[in-house]
Amino acid sequence: MSFSMLSLFGNGGVSMSGKIFVLDTNVLVHDPNSIFNFKDNDIVIPFVVLEELDRLKTRRDSVAKSTRQALRNLDSLREKGNLMKGVELENGGRLRVEVRNLADTLKELPIEVTPDNYILAVAYQLMKENTGKQVILVTKDINMRVKADSIGLKAEDYESDKVNVTEILKGYDVVYVDDSVIDAFYEAGSYPLLKLQELSGKDKDGKWLLEGYENQCILLKVEKSGRSVLAKVKGDKVVPIFHQGVKPWGISARNLEQAFALELLMCDDVKIVFLIGKAGTGKTLLALATGLHKVLEERSYTKLLVARPVIPMGQDIGYLPGGKDEKLRYWMQPITDNLELLFGGDMENYEMWHDKGVIEVEALTYIRGRSLPNCFFIIDEAQNLTPHEVKTIITRAGEGSKIILTGDPYQIDNPYLDEMSNGLTYAAQKFKGQKVAGFIALQKGERSELASLAAELL
């Protein structure tokens, strides 16, 4: 038996799994626990991946944290056996590190020697040696997948954390009813969810067209008369929204979606809210207005904390001058612009609350390690975060806190994320139906007629 077969299956044993997955570095950085998500298949990590992880572990950002977690996972497996020969995983799979010199394999390929191409060479060599198995390169790098296809190698994106974005972008449901349902709703102050689902019917697969998950926003509408009711699901009933017509910090809803958004933002029992929509739909402004109202007027929370990831759009302009606050001013300017609007240009009032620590505008880089009790916490541009990063941030929430995640899944600046795998849509899907969670998709632009037209046409 060849060295490669021995190292793949360990001690000459034959693996019973059907596939061999070769992991790129970016998969381990994206999800440090990814090695446990391939069921009873074989996982191969090229040695150059460990070299790249070693270079990334000393960075001062979320990439370094994920890298160190991935290395800790590998270290725990090392204690169970020789990684070169292969280590059994609890899910029935097997992991090993590929340490061979593949210079001859690289000569066969129309590529130069680089870390990425070495990973391609490992997968290519395994494909040649294991004709009875499907060898798949798993990478978040689109160009790596294109290069793999060009040499006849199957490549896939890391799919474990992908969600159906169309379900998230649905936002709210419209149920057409007759006047008797509206009358019964007003008389009782609620309506049985099951009866409303029966009215909406089922799809071809036998599922209710009205899902009826907790805090789902619903418009009950009589088509002929135009009567309507804004409602949401609470338990086994559909109830009126509690905050119709509210104007937190003087901001009122301009459309139906914003009215539902304000309902979710104003309800203290809804501990996490996802506001998803294109630019100009009012996501950040509504969240900030509600936060100011809840913190400074209602005193329901002791702090308003607003944070966003430091990821540039387009070419990075490099290091910025000044201390921490001066550097962050450039990244946080979109937040500051909205706050200036809400304070009516009275930035001295804003600065007073900022200096007291009641309003805090921060980069997400500095959130890790903090505990945030009784805080109204807004995470802007959350579509640029990985699912692992969002998990890290949400777990910072202390007792009595509320978290708002806003973003547009179609405007992502992170090169390894897309609309189906970013932290915003992933977390929204995972929290869907939980009593403490709610989400709404905002479709109608309200910034200006020009901004709305640009978002639609461009």
Q: What pLDDT score does 365 carry?
A: 72
**In what helix (H) or strand (E) does residue 228 lie, and over which residues does it extend?**
strand 228-234
- Total residue length of the chain: 458
CA distance 373 to 357: 14
Residue 359 in any domain: the answer is yes
Query: 219 and 118, same structural domain?
Result: no
Q: Is the pLDDT of residue 338 over 60?
A: yes
Please identify, among 224, 240, 256, the residue that sits at the C-terminal boundary of a domain.
Answer: 240
Is the domain of 89 the same as that of 121?
Answer: yes
Q: Please check the confidence at residue 144 and state whether its pLDDT lies above 60.
A: yes
Distance CA 258, CA 264 (A): 10
308 part of a folded domain: yes
The answer as to whether 127 is a domain residue is: yes
Q: Which residue has the higher pLDDT, 355 or 449?
A: 355
Mean pLDDT of 273-281: 91
Indicate the number of domains in the chain.
3
Residue-wise pLDDT tens digits, 166-183? 777 777 899 999 999 999
Q: Are residues 186 and 72 in the same domain?
A: no
Residues 7, 132 within the same domain: yes
What is the DSSP-derived secondary structure letter of residue 234?
E
Same domain, 93 and 234: no
What is the reported pLDDT for 319? 52
Note the pLDDT tens digit of each residue in 394-443. 988 889 999 999 999 988 888 778 888 899 999 999 999 999 999 999 98
* Residues near 199 by beta carbon (within 8 Å), at least 6 away in sequence: 175, 177, 181
Say yes or no: 142 and 206 in one domain.
no
Q: Which amino acid is at 257?
A: E
The answer as to whether 161 is a domain residue is: no
What is the extent of the structural domain holding 62? 3-156
Q: What is the pLDDT of residue 330?
A: 63
Q: Are residues 271 and 185 in the same domain?
A: no
Comparison of pLDDT for 253 and 12, the residue scoring more:
253
Q: 266 and 295 share a domain?
A: yes
Last residue of a domain, one of 206, 221, 240: 240
Q: Please, which pLDDT band fits residue 386 given cuts at 50, 70 and 90?
A: confident
Do 257 and 421 contact (CB within 8 A), yes or no?
Answer: no
Q: Does residue 182 fall inside a structural domain?
A: yes
pLDDT (mean) for 319-347: 75
Helix and strand totals (H; E) in the chain: 18, 17
